[in-house]
Amino acid sequence: MLILTRYTTPCPAAISDQILQMVVDNLTDISSVALPPSNLLYSIYQYATGFEVHLYLEALNGAKGIAVELIVATATLDPEKVIGFVLCLPVKDDPEACGIAFMAVQAGFRRQGVARAMLGDVLERYPHAELNCAVEKVPAFEAMGFQVRGARDTQVVMNTRSYATDGLMGVLDVAAIYSSLEVRQIHTYLLQKHGKRAMVDAEKQRDRHLDQRVRKVQLFVQGRG
């Protein structure tokens, strides 16, 4: 059904292009913000999250000084078609540990074991893995050997073990993306198209949405106490 390929150096442009398109198409599912497409700010988060993944894909060349691995699932009948990917960050000083930075499966290939196969490939090398996910995805990750460890903003922290690694995991500082020229240009376009009042309303809707997700995660984790 699928072919798994692991990259520790930059992947072909045809692969990275499909991965970035998958991120844009599945933003609500991938991003910790999980903003719905109905929100006027959606395109800003599409760009920012897509660019963040782009930076991690670039980091496969080693120039950014962090360890990154990419697992790509392609269709057996169409080996050039990407149906899922996992970006993981190996932990320095702990060869068994990694963090799952991003993971996605194409909508038409979900519930077919793609995510399980990709994570299984990761866990063969890094049995001590940690990830963050939405409350709704907890049962699926529990079925793959993860357990609830706590809350982090809008997401549940899950780990294959009952403790976090003591090693250091390299991550990119992506905060500057949201103040970049490109994001400012997108915001200006949206402002001109929809008006100031609509944009203020969109920001309020986003803030309420995030507050609700934070409370939901906190209540869920407390319930697991």
Handedness of CA 29, 1, 11, 141 (dihedral sign): positive
* Inter-helix orientation angle 196-224/181-194, to 10°: 120
Q: What is the pTM of this model?
A: 0.94
Burial of 77 (0-12, 13-18, 19+ CB in 10 A): exposed
Q: Average pLDDT in the 58-82 region?
A: 94
Instruction: Extract the tokens encoding 181.
Output: 């020229």
| CATH (residue range 2-224) | 3.40.630.30
Going by their DSSP bridges, the two strands 147-152 and 128-133 should be labelled as: unpaired
Q: Spell out the domain ranges in the chain.
A: 2-224
Q: Is the pLDDT confidence value at 82 over 90?
A: yes
Interval 202-215 mean pLDDT: 97
**Closest by alpha carbon to 73, among 4, 8, 20, 124?**
4
What is the per-residue burial (b if ≥16 Cβ within 10 Å, else e) of 105-135? bbeebeeeebbebbbebbbeebebbbbbbbb
Mean pLDDT throughout 169-187? 93
With cut-offs at 50, 70 and 90, classify the pLDDT of residue 81.
very high
DSSP letter at 37 equals: T
- pLDDT of 225 > 80? The answer is no
pLDDT in tens, 113-164: 999 999 999 999 999 999 999 999 999 999 999 999 999 999 999 999 999 9
